[in-house]
Structure 1
Amino acid sequence: MPQTNISLSAVLLAGGKSSRMGQDKALLAPKGIAMIRHCFDIAAAVCESVYVVTPWPERYQEILPKECQFVREEPLFGSTETHGPLVGLLQGLDVVESKYEWVLVLACDLPNLRLDVFEGWLNYLVNSPEEMMAFLPKDERGWQPLCGFYRRRCTVLMEEYIKKGGRSFQGWLQTVPVQELPLADRQILFNCNTAADLQQVATDNSPSFG
């Protein structure tokens, strides 16, 4: 881990149905390593602990290290369906130990993540304003909520939003203070949703770890 005074944990979200891919994209390896393992390794390099939130932890236990901690994502209010990444994140944040002020949140399908980018971003967390709830990159679509940092105590605000029926990540982010993280290479945010996306990553010769 980089030497900072930031106490940091990580939550990886692996609850998507991969409907456009036709198979579990977290297990695909366009650069020779399963995408969920690549994201885990990045998170583990900068965080003291890593949690994976998923409805099916059995799928990933063999390819993730023993120190990985799984959180089984559960449906809310008696439903048989999970309710998307915002609810999944809340369930993950709820088990993160209180000693961690900040939590790195990542999707499981980001094959172009680079360690040096996250090491640089850590500097933004140092002495950050107390009211700041998240540090996230942004593009033309808006905030990129599954590739950035959240204050652990944002769970209170997140739970209030969800209890009122809110499920939109972008909608919740509009209700809390968020600061933009700089990103020189937008390919870091590229996620694999289709077979064409997978082929594009597989033919990319850039480093897979950074």
Structure 2
Amino acid sequence: MNLSAVILAGGKSERMGQDKALLTIEGVPLLRRTWAVAHRLTPDVRIVTSRRDRYQSLLPPDVTWLDESTPGGPLLAFEQALRACSSAATDWLLLLACDLPNLQVEPLQQWSQSLAQLSPEAIAHVPKTAQGWEPLCGFYRSTSLPSLQEYLSTGQRSFQAWLNAAPVVAITDVPIGLLANCNTPEDWHRLTQT
């Protein structure tokens, strides 16, 4: 099974008031931390962003950058990444947000080991909590591109609605706090002070 990883780093961070990808834990920016986790799973890690010049010095020179071509949210950025990976020999794509300070490689490794056992109809293997899908820390088949493009052609942009309508296998064994993200200074303070 060939796995690629894509990190979305295109958000405006308006509620945070500063660039979330550059927030640091123990001196390491979140984008670098997320890249390090993804890189332990696959050497093929791509970053989707409109701010490559801001982030390039944070990562090794062999990182593949995808310049965000159509700003419009994470679903459009993901579609761009899927298109870019469709020409590679990628079976599955791990999609990650750059603002997951508690992200760890071990659960992702465990989840990735179950991909080969999923039914061929399943287009994704994504964490699901009581609040809904956690689409920015999930695995997607490269063959999910037509389904996503059909959904986007309707004008919709909701990850939740697309996943609810698609054959997705939920990941339910999610360690507490693993997927906590930081959208506001209060979130950041709470996550970094525990």
Aligned residues: 193
The aligned runs of 1:129-140 (5 Å cut-off) are: 129-140=119-130
Question: Normalized against structure 2, the TM-score is what?
Answer: 0.95
8 Å Cα contact 1:110/1:190 also seen in 2: yes
- Structure 1 position 31, deviation (Å): 3.8
Q: Aligned residues: percent identity?
A: 40
In structure 2, the partner of 1:8 is 3
Is the CA contact (8 Å cut-off) linking 1:31 and 1:201 kept in structure 2? Answer: no
Residues in 2 aligned to 1:10 and 1:103: alpha-carbon distance in whole angstroms: 5
Distance 1:128 1:48 in 2: 23
Aligned pairs (5 A) from 1:45-64: 45-64=40-59
Q: 1:184: how far off?
A: 4.3
The aligned residue for residue 90 of structure 1 is 79
Counterparts of 1:31 and 1:21, CA distance in 2: 19
Cα distance in structure 2, aligned partners of 1:197 and 1:33: 18
- Deviation track 1:75-123 (CA, whole Å, cap 9, x = no partner) reads 2xxxxxx211000000011111431100000000001011111111112
Q: 1: CA distance between counterparts of 2:94 and 2:28?
A: 21
Whether 2:169 is the aligned partner of 1:174: answer no
Alignment-mate amino acid for residue 132 of structure 1: A
Bigger strand share: 2
Gaps of 5+ in 2: none
Q: Secondary structure at the match of 2:186?
A: helix
Q: Which has the larger displacement, 163-172 or 103-112? A: 163-172
Counterpart selection for 1:30 from 25, 28, 46: 25
| TM-score, normalised with respect to structure 1 | 0.88
- Kindly indicate whether residue 1 of structure 2 is the aligned counterpart of residue 20 of structure 1: no
Give 1 or 2: higher helix fraction: 2
